[in-house]
Amino acid sequence: MKDFVSVRLGRFASFQLHKKTLLFSALGLLLTILVAIVSLGMGEMKIAPLDVLKVVLGIGAEDHALIVEQFRMPRIIIAILVGAALAVAGAIMQGIVRNPLASPDILGVAGGASVAAVSFLLLFTSVSIKWLPPVAFLGATLTTLLLYALAWKKGVTPLRLVMIGVGIKIAAGAVVTILIIFSPFLLQNKALLWLSGSIYGVEWNDVWMIMPWVIILILAAAALTRRVNIQQLGDDVATSLGSILQWDRFFLLMICAALTGTAVSVGGDISFVALLAPHIAKQLIGPSFGGALPVSAFIGALIVLLADLVARMAFSPIEVPVGVFTSAVGAPFFIFLLYKNRNR
């Protein structure tokens, strides 16, 4: 037990984390902060990391403060929140179905959120944008329930879940395409930019809109880590250990859907982060969900942060959507996972 540290979430949950998990979590936090500081200084007007730190501490120059605090910092925080939310959603999905190929975007959950969000953007132009997160959450929730219902036949097998999920993803893409075709030109551009996975133009209002959702949902997922770990032993074993399997699975799926919907509502359809981050985390610290959760969150934040930095600087002054770079990395990785798991 010397390799473990006890962690308590008040009276709601307690669990033990391996010291390796704490080490990689601390490393992930440090790297996230360093990349965020570098990214805050990059742009048309470059600002040295030391000057960025001065701005963060409230002692920086006024012109630096204006650029960092008003234009760049909201975007950096959104990148961190979106990346962490997608990564934790992916970790939950992979933990429930016990399949490294499972993720909200591959299995159509993000597609359902996209259908709901694009419908909202194109059909309800007079409604406040503040309603976008709950709308995207509703789309992700309904798609998750549909996916699980269609995949159920005396249980859910990984192959059936992946096949049905891919079908739902394709169907959702078709619905989104139809909506865009029959919409006004200006709204089409808005929807297409959102679908490409872009955090361009986000503001502090967007940060305050999704931050509470992301924090609460990640804490809720952390409180249920023991139940996910039990489910990874198999349905029969989990039931014999006293787990209320269907209720646990239902709540976990709702958390996954809510995280996906929240991330998609602001960041658009950023692909493969939910697949990459949990898989990398498990390679680093092992299969335990309790250990993979915080490490996945930091890795997801780093992926989106780095993708956003490249998107802003690689072809400056033209900005490429973040989702283009996550897809460029994620697609080959997904093919590799398919090849690795071809006999399952």
pLDDT of residue 327: 80
Interval 211-247: pLDDT, tens = 998 999 999 888 887 777 676 666 665 666 556 666 7
Question: How high is the pLDDT of residue 45?
Answer: 81
- Give dist(CA 96, CA 165) in Å, integer: 15
Taking 70 as the threshold, does the pLDDT of residue 301 lie above it? yes
**pLDDT(2) > 70:** no
Given pLDDT bands bounded at 50, 70 and 90, which one contains residue 11?
low
User: What pLDDT was estimated at residue 77?
Assistant: 93
pLDDT digits (tens, 9 = 90+) for 132-151: 777 888 888 889 888 878 87
pTM of the complete model: 0.86
Helical ranges in the chain per DSSP H? 19-40, 49-56, 62-65, 73-97, 109-123, 132-151, 158-181, 185-195, 204-223, 225-231, 235-240, 245-267, 273-285, 289-313, 322-340
User: Nearest Cα to 252, choosing from 282, 217, 279?
Assistant: 217
Q: Which has more confidence, 12 or 110? A: 110
pLDDT band with cut points at 50, 70 and 90 for residue 113: confident
For residue 236, the model assigns a pLDDT of: 60
Share of the chain above pLDDT 90, in %: 14
Q: At what angle do helices 273-285 and 19-40 cross, to 10 degrees?
A: 140
For residue 60, pLDDT beyond 80: no
Q: Is the dihedral of CA 11, 15, 17, 18 positive or negative?
A: positive
Q: 335 or 208: which carries more pLDDT confidence?
A: 208
Contact 257, 136 (CB under 8 A): no
Tokens representing residue 273 in the block: 């982060």
pLDDT at 30: 94
Q: What's the mean pLDDT when you consider all of the chain? A: 81
Q: What is the pLDDT at residue 162?
A: 76
Using the predicted structure, report yes or no on whether residue 173 has a pLDDT greater than 80.
yes
- Decide: 79 and 304 in contact? Cβ < 8 Å: yes
Q: Binning pLDDT at 50, 70 and 90, where does residue 131 land?
A: confident
